[in-house]
Structure 1
Amino acid sequence: MKGIKGKARVLLVGPLPPTKGGMTTFMLNLMRSHLADEFEFIGFTTSRPPKPNAVDNWGYRAIFSGGIKRAASGILVTLGHLLKFPAVVLARRIEVIQIQSPDYQAFWEACIYALMARALGVPTIMRIGGAFDAFVGQSGPAARWMVRQALNLPQIVIAQSALSQDYIVAAGRRGRIIIVPNWVQQPTQLPPFATPTEPPVFLFIAGTDARRKGIEDVIGAATILAAEGSPARFQLVAMPQILQDRVAELALSNILAVEGFLEHEAIFERMRCATALLLPSYGEGFPNSLIEAMAVGTPAIVTPVGAIPEIVRDGGAITVPVADRRALADAAHRIATDKELRSRLSSEAVDIIVHNYTAHKALTVLEASYRSLIAARSQQNETPRTDS
């Protein structure tokens, strides 16, 4: 049975608002994409209570990053989601299930959904995100065996890049893998720094993974440049209160603004006005913030983690070593003082997005995968059973 106006129903399992982050953005973008003309996307949230003051929401310890009470409520909410899931699949007559699967404990949670989907006989796609390579690399032999079994539960696995595909194969996936990067709906090709921002402002987006994103290195670089009299200035957004208080105590003259959590459109607007995005991360999957900034001509300073080297291999960014505050400071100073460099990086950034990371380019293979799974299931259901 088809959904609205004959559309096939696809259940998207993952964190939905009020949760923010890359997986949430991916799900919302998919629901708003041109694929919604053919498929009815139904969101199934796995979101838990927020952690408003978390700064290190990565790894297994993230369970307790919001405190014991938050951990207990999160477990109860998760159990409620798991119990509700089969009823939603059956009641809504779901034809394909797509599960967003990051790393660490959230990966194992995604695997439970994949097991239930398999038991219900619904074709399943699992999208691997987060710092999957670090997660597997830090796992012991028993956990790696379990990861290998889990990766072979769904009919299709989505990798975010060619590099992440290699990680998934190395982790034990034997079946079909497709590459679906993050994308932007409509890149806005602004004149590349036709009126350069003065003073040059470098934007850092913290979030609840601020330490993994490199907040300590950003503060360290800002301290270096303040002492050296560089014209570079810094704007820090999505900062938990504990970090806002810490930056206020430092009283660095080159930090122009420190803001808390903002709506996506507000962050996007700050990207438009920034001289460059700072992403000195210690671990990434495929960062939405990077391609969103590049789409509006804002270059970046990045570290070579996750899919980032693949995204910026043709330019649009300066790459610095992980945890190297001196290199980060030097790169910011170069961009701040070299308008020609800024212009070149801006043009490269927009070109990269236009040629690689628009919806129609990114989603072609996913659209074909939905169709193939639905057709295979339909054929299986229509094949008459013969008694021996």
Structure 2
Amino acid sequence: MTTGESFNPAVVVVAAGRGERAGSPTEGPKQYRLIGGLPVITHTLRTFAAWGGAKAGIVVVIHPDDEALFADAIAHLHAPGAIRFVHGATTRQGSVLRGLSALEKERPSHVMIHDAVRPFFDAALLDRVSAALRSGEDAVLPAVAVADTLKKAGADRTVGATVSREGLYAAQTPQAFRYPVILAAHLKAEGEGRSDFTDDAGIAEWAGLSVKLVDGLAENVKLTYRRDIAMADEKLARNLIADIRTGNGYDVHQLVPGDGVTLCGVKIPHDMALSGHSDADVAFHALTDALLATCGAGDIGDHFPPSDPQWRGAASHIFLAHAAKIVREKGGVILNADVSLIAEAPKVGPHRLAMRQNIAECLGIDLDRCSVKATTNETIGFVGRREGIAAIATASVHYGNI
């Protein structure tokens, strides 16, 4: 990176191929075949989205005939609107150029270019590639050393020589570049009628760029043939262990003279009010902590310190939505949210549906996944003396690529 250049990378995912080697055309393009119950491309995009490093956006290059397939594939993702598509060309090289050109308004500092049919990469690989870009490299190629003995044969398939594997590597994706230089290299290749490059690092080499190798990932294989897809499906089926986590949250606020309390975003008329730096919505505060607990993201005070004047009187749905965003950025799917309110008054029952609707809207989940319950403390303790209201919340979240 040049001095003063910010790191603002984008991702281009190439998914416009027809996959002729992956079986009958009636089975559909290989990037939309199911592995582990989801399209291949869904696994690929989910990893990029969970990584969260594509600050300048994710562009997927698709075939014009695949818009419905693509819409179905990204429907399995959270915040699918953050991923956009452009139509590809007749060659991979042409499709990449269209993806790069679609990013010109965003002006990313760097770009990662990845094959949609390589779903088995991880955040650690993306971090290695990013680190090399940040160190100032123009082009970065993840690769693994060739382990097999290599033979060179003639047209008659007779072995003519054994090729030394010393210094030989198998190229993978995502291949990453400073955005302006790889766009210029692609435009130069197009201008000179060159369309025979098999990867983007090859274009970079031809354009005179230095390409830096970083450690690839053995599992980061390209699904080319039908048997590759079948093996990938079997692999995911064997590893289908659900990562479901449960977080708990507790909060309490003091009651003071006032004209009403806010619980789960619903203002309820009352002769008391809850005291707090924000709107003191004890229910949303507890649920915020429960969500943050599922991914080890601290508590509400870490993200919204009460010493910060900007949160004075703030509506607590801001805090809850922020926690939900963190969960999704870490690959989580919110399954359930449950709140128990402990108060002698006011009555919660008449407002329960509105409370559940507020939770569902804020978290982006179905109403039947949201529960609100209330109980008294049988006149015992500070709640029984009507000195405060307490809330206990539980959230269940599914993490992972399944």
Q: If the length of structure 1 is used for normalisation, what is the TM-score?
A: 0.24
More strand by share: 2
More helix by share: 1
Q: Tell which structure's C-alpha radius of gyration is larger.
A: 2
